[in-house]
Amino acid sequence: MARKKSTNSTTPRHPHPHLFARLNYLHQSAHLLLASGSANLSRNLVSTARTVAKRAVIRFDPSIKRTWCKRCDAVLVPGVSCEHRIENLSRGGKKAWADVLVVRCWRCGCLKRFPVGRVAHEKERNESGKARERGYDVTGEGKEKEEDTGGDPTR
Ligand SMILES: [Zn+2]
């Protein structure tokens, strides 16, 4: 008699669920300790989380990595341990797609840069491409529409 194969629903999603639980605990504890004023202990937990993930070859989600400083392992909370500002180095700051979010760590001064105008830029490209197919130009109208839907990643 042949053995039944186990279904996929019973197999665990990750090979080491205890490591994911530990990393989740370290991440949440680091944020909590920063909020309670223990910045150095918070940094220690982030460093431990990085070490555990590196040994187990687990990648953090980019949204989690962006809350940590690469250089000093500080937890980055705007207004508490870092500052956010929008920078646009295009000529005169006229190109909305060139917006860059600059995150500066207050402890070590490390800068992180994330393009935030790219999604809007791609949308504008698609709209102008469609407009060319239809036969009219929307170059002046695209900028107003970008600001309305700039943060929406689904578009
Ligand atoms: Zn730092």
What are the tens digits of pLDDT across the range 26-71?
999 999 999 999 999 999 999 999 999 999 999 999 999 999 999 9
pLDDT at 111: 96
User: Separation of 26 CA from ligand 1 center, angstroms?
Assistant: 18
CA 105 to ligand 1 centroid distance, Å: 5
Question: Cα separation of 10 and 127, whole Å?
Answer: 46
pLDDT-based confidence at residue 6 (cuts at 50, 70, 90): low
Q: What is the mean pLDDT of residues 128-137?
A: 50
The helix/strand/coil state of 29 is helix
Is 6 domain-assigned?
Answer: no
CA 50 to ligand 1 centroid distance, Å:
15
CA of 112 to the centre of ligand 1 (A): 10
* 69 alpha carbon – ligand 1 mean position (Å): 5
Average model confidence (pLDDT) across the chain: 80
For residues 62 and 105, state if they share a domain: yes
pLDDT at site 124 = 58
Distance 63 CA to ligand 1 centre (A): 17
Are 62 and 42 within one domain? yes
Structural domain including 38 reads 17-115
What percent of the chain lies above the pLDDT cut of 70?
68
Q: Ligand 1 centre and the CA of 5: distance in Å?
A: 50
User: What total of structural domains would you count in the chain?
Assistant: 2
Q: Is residue 1 part of a domain?
A: no
74 CA → ligand 1 middle, Å: 6
91 and 129 within one domain: no
> How many angstroms is it from 82 CA to the middle of ligand 1?
8
Lowest mean pLDDT among 5-9, 17-21, 44-48, 62-66: 5-9
**31 CA to middle of ligand 1, Å?**
15
In the block, tokens 């407009």 appear at 131
85-98 burial code (b ≥16 CB/10 A, e <16): eeeeeeeeeeebbb
Q: Are 26 and 48 in contact (CB under 8 A)?
A: yes
Query: Residue 10 falls within a domain, yes or no?
Result: no
Q: Per-residue confidence at 146, pLDDT binned at 50, 70, 90?
A: very low
Q: What is the pLDDT of residue 117?
A: 83
- CA–centroid distance, 45 to ligand 1, in Å, is 14
pLDDT range class, residue 78, cuts 50, 70, 90: very high
